[in-house]
Amino acid sequence: MTVGTRPRARGTARSAARGAAGPVYLGGAASAALRPALESARRPARVLAAFPLAVYLEVRTETEPHVVALVTGQGVRLPNAVVVAGPLDGPAAGDDGWVGDGVVEAGGLSVRVARWWDPAPSLGTADLGGLRPALARLRAVREASGRRPGLPPGGAVTLLADGCRRGSLTDGVTATELLLGLGPGLTPSGDDLLAGLLVTLRHLGRAANAPRAVWLADWLAATVTFDARVRTTPISATLLHCAARGEAAPEATGVLQAVAGRRPLEAAAHRLLALGHTSGADMLWGVEIGLSAVLSLGEGP
């Protein structure tokens, strides 16, 4: 998932001019997932990528989240994001920065966190019978939208879907390892699908009182996070660590709320499908696989 359009080159004239003029101070609302990074002592960081709507900084730390995103109000509110009240026209790829003590600094910007938001809102309770019709409706919306996932059907995706429905840890882990990092881009399609699956198993498994689905989420999350840093991009690895804890962008958690009957389903599905080139479709596919597994595992052996 790429938030923004054309990335900025390192050392732009605008960045240099801003640095000479002194820092620009902005307020921000941060994901609660970032508390460990933002409330610790300042650590050095580096700008991985910069777009008009988002800037990604890699923090020099061994803990997750490893990447912090600064996004504007028009950008995607990723689970590792600080939403800023101003433009992001200073930082460029390769710039040095700092993260910690409640502040993110890069490219002449200094963003202080003023409030927090929850990237893993609770769904409350949900009835398995009420969830069942949502699966067919989600598939119908995705297929009718013309937004195609980045992965072809069959292969590891089929193995994952069948294994999750049966609660097969062997097949689920095998397919997860095959999909991790599969595809091009800042967030490969395999990672987006796995993120959608993980948040669905965890949230809907809890809401529908399907402990086997939550158990499966725990094991697949451990598989994904074990070597994500060496199997995929830094940005995607951080988002997978977030998904392993049930944290996702509002477009994804909004679909889960819709499945649970908390909001209109078709509108929520279209909002998710609109993300990136294929990211939304890949994530929605993962949600469908997760929902199918919750329905199967929730009914017992």
- At residue 300 the predicted structure's pLDDT band, cuts being 50, 70 and 90, is low
User: How confident is the prediction for the chain on average, in pLDDT?
Assistant: 92
DSSP state of 7: P
Spell 16-25 as b/e; 16+ CB within 10 A means b. Answer: eebeeeeeee
**What's the pLDDT tens digit per position in 257-296?**
999 999 999 999 999 999 999 999 999 999 999 999 999 9
Query: What are the residue ranges spanned by the domains of the chain?
Result: 13-116, 128-298
Beta bridge partners of 96: 46
Q: How far apart are CA 220 and CA 155, in angstroms?
A: 18
246 residue type, one letter? G
Beta bridge partners of 70: 55, 82
Q: Name, in order, each residue with C-beta under 8 angstroms of 13's C-beta and a sequence gap of 6 or more.
A: none
Beta bridge partners of 59: 45
pLDDT at 195: 98
- Alpha-carbon separation of residue 8 from 21, 216, 234, 236 (angstroms): 20, 41, 18, 20
pLDDT at 22: 75
97 residue type, one letter? G
The angle at the Cα of 280, spanning 212 to 208, to the nearest 5 degrees, equals 25
How large is the average pLDDT for residues 130-140?
94
**Cα R_g (the chain), whole angstroms:** 19
pLDDT at 235: 95
More confident residue, 46 or 186: 46
How large is the average pLDDT for residues 225-254?
95
Instruction: Give the helix ranges, DSSP H, for 93-168.
Output: 128-145, 155-166
pLDDT at 20: 55
